Amino acid sequence: MLEDGVEGATIEEVSERSGVARSTIYRHFGTREHLIVQAVRSCLVEHPTPDTGSLDADLHELIGRFDHEENRAGNELLPLLLDERRRDAAMAAAVQVLLEERRRPIRTVLKLAQLRGEIDPALDLEIALTMVLGPLIYRRMVQDEEITDEFVAIALRGAISALRSTARHPVA
């Protein structure tokens, strides 16, 4: 996929490169979309969700993991899948599952912050997720620029400040 894009990732191509029969690939994965999502999933490194007792510390730990070298292939493949899902409904559904997996730890951290009173318990977590991830996604996908540690620190400081301002009794 990194060489030929998502459209180049066909069962036939995988069969040819791997030496595994197409029938075996179909039997194991069922569909091309499932094969692609499983391939990307295998490139994503999962880490335990932090629970330090602080929204700030938890988000910095989580976001800091996303750009490590061990996640490079997954980080390069996700934009390709996001582009492909606009053209392919089956791919859109498969990619949605993958994105949910990627967002789950951040959603958990935000929910824990709600339970601790750091952010409003009624705040829609999808909005909160967008506040945290929006600047990072914009930087990488629209501006096509590196997400530096300095940028992460500034973006998270702004998101955390905005999120904490929603709390009934804001925590310093």
**Residues 66-120: tens digit of each pLDDT:** 765 555 666 777 788 888 888 888 788 878 887 888 889 999 999 999 999 999 9
pTM: 0.79
CATH class of 33-164: mainly alpha
Q: Decide which of 129 and 142 is more confident.
A: 129
Mean pLDDT across the chain, nearest whole number? Answer: 87
Evaluate if residue 55 carries a pLDDT over 90: yes
For 170, the enclosing helix (H) or strand (E) is none
Whole-number pLDDT of residue 135: 95
Whole-number pLDDT of residue 127: 96
Task: Identify the three-state secondary structure at position 28.
Answer: helix
Task: Identify the three-state secondary structure at position 165.
Answer: coil
Q: Decide which of 82 and 59 is more confident.
A: 59
Residue 167 main-chain phi, psi, to 5 deg = -65, 150
Contact 6, 64 (CB under 8 A): no
State whether the Cα torsion 103-104-109-115 is positive or negative: positive
Residue with tokens 């999962």: 46
State whether the Cα torsion 68-74-77-83 is positive or negative: negative
Whole-number pLDDT of residue 23: 94
**Residues 135-171: tens digit of each pLDDT:** 998 998 889 898 888 999 999 999 999 999 999 875 5
Evaluate if residue 33 carries a pLDDT over 60: yes
Whole-number pLDDT of residue 158: 97
Whole-number pLDDT of residue 67: 63
Write down the domain spans for the chain.
33-164
Q: Give the confidence band of 48 by pLDDT, cuts at 50, 70, 90.
A: confident
For 80, the enclosing helix (H) or strand (E) is helix 72-85
**What distance in Å separates the CA atoms of residue 55 and residue 162, rounded to the nearest whole number?**
12
